[in-house]
């Protein structure tokens, strides 16, 4: 989301502090003299009643948290059941860390990166006390994939479900882990996810059919991300500059696997999609061993990767980024390669989640097939693949079976795990990890790492997505049919446009800009109006004459909706069945188009299907060759591929205010999202919000001013003179 000016956040902080004083002290009789000015009272239209007082749970002692070791332990397949997940106490703070052997300032939790892994059982109530130790900015935590049933205030989306947690303040999240699955959490204020604020969230279930069959003996977790050396604050400023000075963030320097990567410490021929890992000397006559003896990333031996950009990006032997310094791997614990230890002849569940800021990725394990069994916390019909494509915001579980040891054989003791970029011209060498069989030595795996598939083979990626079918039974419900009077279709054209000279992403030519008052708070007080945000409905379609194969500036002006920056919402009635069609289109350059992974908060949706070109909802959504209404997969994130469309369906059965947005961080920052206000009709619903939403979640912006108007701050009383000294 676009970052508000620093003074906006400072005013919010001042308002909230003043409000807390007002609520903590009763109104006292005035003691001012005739010439003293009257205390100022903010002018607010239709001030609501004072909000109820809800005290957060008392914090428990913080659990000990240590950085994850390079060697990854195996989680038992069936954990001991517990009545509830323990309470977690987190200090969100700035840290110095070297995730890719090069030290950077970033955001960590309890002094480490990535943040602590939360493991809970389905049905547990998870409590996380967040202390904001960031001195200069607010913070929120979004629990990606958790529906937040009855707790919409805990979704962790700044200016939508809650106020940012101010520096020095504490906020307690408490929510139910509604189902088992592979999830994660991350910052959702500005671009804090790209600054390192994320971690894993694994919800287990003793009734998981994958364990009963039985299908696996243990679990491994893989949290993927990309990493930039330019601070996110500089990235954000570049994205917000006017057209002539606009600065795109470019490609990441490193890919991270469980927070570890090796910038300058592995050599991969990027143009050949990592067909080798040739070692590279330091060119100073001392060689690789001398460099490694002095350590990696210690400040003395750091070498900037030599960047050589090809004149022709399609040249077969174009080495875009060369890595030197230390041969195959760094020895630093913060950036050393992840090693997964496994036993021969066993099957493991490998949980994979992607928090990338930009990159779509492909994951392969040398010499091993993968069986896909879960997508975004929902079981799918198992199918085998050589590799798996994963976009930002997605998560999967795959089963990996190790080779049984044969007596007298000398089979490879370890194997490469390779993670490479797809969907964009690669500028970032693949990340590497090691799958190590028990009893093997410290040697690197034999042979070359698997080659990443051709980056622009969208057909292959689309075919993978189409293979995902829901595993029937185990609580799965197929999508409801179109019901007359209770069904709605929203078509969302994804475009780039100029807004006051600035490049922004837009949906139906509306670029999202969040208000300074959380939507949920405005609805809770029942007075959204013009005081809070624009209540004019957001457009639910685009003109039939719009040509999706042309950039916006080449369109017939009559086919283009007015370019608007707005905080409009889509209001949904409780129980309404909603189809939304994501329609891709050219950017501001002819035939330049991107993939967009779209994530919905508060819900799973059914992925009904994909199509080419422009979607005709009346025709295409009834085409059984394109649309699956029998066993479509349930997901919370779905990809909109280039030159096509994606059709989704969900039921508006979870009252709250929910974001739906592209999960690519700079795209969201540039306005690529919409907001659903769901089930907000009726006085009883609004009273329920007022009764259940914690005060600190919504007491900022105009909601805070409204509460102050209902209960104004008392002026200070004059102090009595001190008695004279004896």
Using only the alpha carbons of the chain, give its radius of gyration: 27
What is the three-class DSSP state of 540?
coil
| pLDDT of res. 301 | 28
**Res. 486: pLDDT tops 80:** no
Q: Cβ(65)–Cβ(107) under 8 Å?
A: no
- Specify the higher pLDDT residue, 197 or 79: 197
- Lowest model confidence (mean pLDDT) among 2-6, 134-138, 188-192, 481-485: 2-6
Q: Where are the domains of the chain?
A: 49-208, 227-280+328-466, 487-705
pLDDT tier for residue 399 given thresholds of 50, 70 and 90: very high
The CATH class of the 49-208 domain is mainly beta
CA-CA distance, 588 to 575, in Å (whole number)? 38
CA-CA distance, 16 to 475, in Å (whole number)? 44
What is the three-class DSSP state of 87?
strand
**Res. 583: pLDDT tops 90:** yes
Q: Report the pLDDT averaged over residues 197-220.
A: 86
CA-based angle 106:110:115, to the nearest 5?
65
**Res. 261: pLDDT tops 70:** yes
Tokens of 516: 């300074």
CA-CA distance, 585 to 555, in Å (whole number)? 12
pLDDT tier for residue 714 given thresholds of 50, 70 and 90: low
pLDDT tier for residue 481 given thresholds of 50, 70 and 90: confident
Name the pairing type of β-strands 414-422 and 378-385.
Answer: unpaired
CA-CA distance, 302 to 422, in Å (whole number)? 28
Residues 6+ apart with CB under 8 A from 419: 224, 255, 257, 361, 362, 363, 364, 430, 431, 432, 433
Closest C-alpha to 594, from 557, 553, 631, 641: 641
**Res. 393: pLDDT tops 60:** yes
Residues 6+ apart with CB under 8 A from 557: none
**Res. 401: pLDDT tops 60:** yes
Name the pairing type of β-strands 395-401 and 370-375.
Answer: antiparallel
**Res. 61: pLDDT tops 80:** no
Q: Containing H/E element for 524? A: helix 519-524
| Beta-sheet strands, E only, within 68-140 | 71-72, 75-76, 87-97, 104-109, 118-121, 125-132
Residue that is written with structure tokens 């520096």 in the block? 167
Name the pairing type of β-strands 673-678 and 637-640.
Answer: unpaired
HSE-up (13 A, CA, CB side) for residue 650: 27
Residue that is written with structure tokens 């104004």 in the block? 712
Mean of the per-residue pLDDT values for the chain? 79
Instruction: Report pLDDT digits (tens) over 105-126.
Output: 999 999 999 999 999 999 999 9
| pLDDT of res. 67 | 37
**Res. 297: pLDDT tops 70:** no
| pLDDT of res. 69 | 33
Q: What is the dihedral of CA 691, 696, 698, 704, to 10 degrees?
A: 110
pLDDT tier for residue 592 given thresholds of 50, 70 and 90: confident
461 Cα distance to chain centroid: 21
In eight-state DSSP terms, residue 244 is G
Closest C-alpha to 493, from 569, 434, 560: 560
| pLDDT of res. 529 | 60
Closest C-alpha to 594, from 302, 307, 356, 391: 391
- Lowest model confidence (mean pLDDT) among 53-57, 93-97, 126-130, 198-202: 53-57
Euclidean distance between the first and the last CA atom of the chain, given in angstroms as a whole number: 65
Encode 304-320 in three state secondary structure.
CCEECCCCCCCCCCCCC
**Res. 162: pLDDT tops 70:** yes
Distances in Å between the Cα of 539 and the Cα atoms of 436, 491, 536 are: 53, 9, 9
Percent of the chain whose pLDDT exceeds 90: 52
Residues 6+ apart with CB under 8 A from 256: 99, 100, 224, 225, 226, 227, 431
| pLDDT of res. 22 | 39
CA-CA distance, 491 to 39, in Å (whole number)? 50
CA-CA distance, 300 to 469, in Å (whole number)? 52
Name the pairing type of β-strands 125-132 and 141-144.
Answer: unpaired
The CATH class of the 227-280+328-466 domain is mainly beta
Tell me the DSSP string of 176-230.
E--S-EEEEEEE-STTGGGGT-EEEEEEE-TT-HHHHTT--SEEEEEEEEEE-SS
Q: Cβ(124)–Cβ(176) under 8 Å?
A: yes
Q: Report the pLDDT averaged over residues 187-202.
A: 97
Residues 6+ apart with CB under 8 A from 268: 274, 276, 277, 323, 429, 430
Q: Cβ(392)–Cβ(356) under 8 Å?
A: yes
- Lowest model confidence (mean pLDDT) among 39-53, 144-158, 480-494, 617-631: 39-53
pTM, entire model: 0.81
**Res. 239: pLDDT tops 80:** yes
As a whole number of angstroms, the longest Cα–Cα distance in the chain is 101
| pLDDT of res. 217 | 86
Instruction: Report pLDDT digits (tens) over 211-221.
Output: 766 678 899 99
Q: Report the pLDDT averaged over residues 263-284.
A: 39
Bridge partner list, 584: 494
Name the pairing type of β-strands 125-132 and 170-176.
Answer: antiparallel
Closest C-alpha to 67, from 355, 342, 259: 259
CATH of 487-705, one of 2.60.40.420, 3.40.462.20, 1.10.3720.10, 3.40.50.720: 2.60.40.420
In eight-state DSSP terms, residue 601 is T
What is the three-class DSSP state of 512?
strand
- Specify the higher pLDDT residue, 496 or 329: 496
Instruction: Report pLDDT digits (tens) over 616-667.
Output: 998 999 999 999 999 999 999 999 999 999 999 999 999 999 999 999 999 9
CA-CA distance, 110 to 288, in Å (whole number)? 36
Distances in Å between the Cα of 141 and the Cα atoms of 161, 188, 593, 665 are: 11, 6, 31, 15
pLDDT tier for residue 588 given thresholds of 50, 70 and 90: confident
Fold equal for 227-280+328-466 and 487-705: yes
């Amino acid at each position: 989301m676009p970052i508000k000016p620093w003074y906006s956040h400072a005013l919010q902080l001042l308002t909230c502090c003043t409000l807390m004083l007002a609520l903590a002290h009763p109104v006292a009789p005035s003691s001012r003299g005739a010439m003293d000015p009257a205390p100022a009272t903010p002018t607010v239209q239709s001030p609501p009643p004072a909000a109820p007082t809800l005290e957060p749970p008392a914090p428990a002692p913080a659990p000990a948290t240590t950085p994850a070791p390079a060697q990854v332990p195996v989680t038992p397949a069936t954990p001991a059941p517990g009545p509830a997940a323990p309470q977690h106490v987190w200090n969100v703070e700035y840290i110095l860390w070297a995730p890719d052997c090069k030290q950077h300032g970033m955001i960590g939790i309890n002094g480490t990166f990535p943040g602590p892994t939360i493991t809970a059982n389905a049905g547990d109530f998870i409590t996380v006390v967040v202390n904001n130790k960031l001195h200069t900015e607010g913070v929120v935590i979004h629990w990606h994939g958790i529906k937040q049933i009855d707790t919409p205030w805990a979704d962790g989306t700044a200016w939508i479900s809650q106020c940012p947690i101010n520096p020095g303040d504490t906020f307690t999240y408490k929510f139910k882990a509604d189902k088992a699955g592979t999830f994660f959490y991350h910052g959702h204020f500005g671009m804090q996810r790209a600054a390192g604020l994320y971690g894993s969230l694994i919800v287990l279930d003793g009734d998981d059919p994958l364990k009963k069959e039985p299908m696996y003996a243990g679990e491994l977790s893989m949290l993927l991300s990309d990493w930039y050396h330019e601070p996110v604050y500089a990235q954000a400023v570049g994205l917000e500059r006017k057209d002539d000075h606009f600065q795109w963030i470019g490609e990441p320097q490193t890919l991270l696997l469980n927070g570890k990567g090796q910038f300058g410490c592995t050599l991969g021929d990027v143009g050949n999609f990592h067909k080798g890992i040739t070692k590279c000397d330091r060119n100073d006559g001392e060689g690789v061993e001398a460099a490694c003896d002095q350590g990696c990333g210690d400040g003395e031996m750091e070498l900037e990767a030599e960047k050589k950009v090809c004149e022709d990006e399609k040249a077969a032997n174009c080495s875009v980024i060369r890595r030197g310094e230390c041969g195959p791997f760094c020895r630093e614990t913060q950036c050393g390669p992840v090693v997964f230890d496994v036993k021969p002849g066993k099957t493991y569940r490998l949980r994979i989640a992607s928090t990338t800021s930009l990159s779509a990725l492909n994951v392969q394990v040398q010499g091993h097939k993968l069986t896909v069994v879960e997508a975004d916390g929902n079981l799918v019909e198992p199918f085998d693949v050589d590799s798996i494509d994963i976009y930002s915001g997605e998560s999967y579980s795959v089963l990996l079976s190790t080779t049984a040891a044969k007596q007298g054989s000398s089979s490879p003791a370890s194997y490469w795990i390779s993670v490479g970029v797809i969907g964009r011209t690669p500028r970032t060498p693949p990340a590497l990890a090691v799958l190590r069989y028990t009893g093997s030595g410290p040697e690197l795996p034999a042979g070359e790492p698997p080659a990443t598939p051709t980056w622009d083979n969208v057909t292959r990626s689309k075919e993978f997505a189409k293979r995902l079918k829901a595993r029937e039974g185990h609580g799965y419900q197929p999508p409801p049919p179109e019901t007359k009077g209770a069904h709605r279709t929203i078509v969302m054209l994804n475009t780039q446009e100029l807004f006051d000279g600035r490049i922004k992403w837009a949906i139906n030519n509306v670029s999202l800009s969040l208000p300074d008052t959380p939507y949920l708070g405005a609805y809770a007080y029942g007075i959204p109006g013009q005081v809070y945000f624009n209540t004019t409905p957001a457009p639910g379609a685009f003109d039939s004459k719009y040509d999706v194969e042309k950039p916006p500036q080449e369109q017939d002006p009559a086919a283009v909706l007015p370019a608007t920056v707005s905080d409009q919402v889509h209001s949904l009635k409780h129980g309404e069945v909603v189809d939304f069609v994501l329609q891709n289109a050219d950017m501001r350059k002819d035939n330049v188009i991107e993939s967009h992974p779209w994530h919905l908060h508060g819900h799973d949706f059914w992925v009904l299907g994909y199509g080419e070109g422009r979607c005709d909802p009346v025709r295409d959504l009834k085409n059984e060759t394109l649309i699956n209404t029998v066993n479509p997969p349930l997901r919370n994130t779905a990809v909109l591929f280039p030159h096509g469309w994606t059709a989704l369906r969900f039921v508006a059965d979870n009252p709250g205010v929910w974001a739906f947005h592209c999960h690519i961080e700079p795209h969201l920052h540039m306005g690529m999202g919409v907001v659903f206000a769901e089930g907000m009709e009726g006085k009883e619903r609004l009273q329920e919000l007022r009764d259940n939403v914690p005060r600190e979640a919504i007491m900022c912006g105009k909601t805070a001013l409204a509460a102050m108007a209902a209960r104004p701050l008392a002026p200070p009383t004059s102090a009595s003179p001190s008695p004279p000294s004896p």
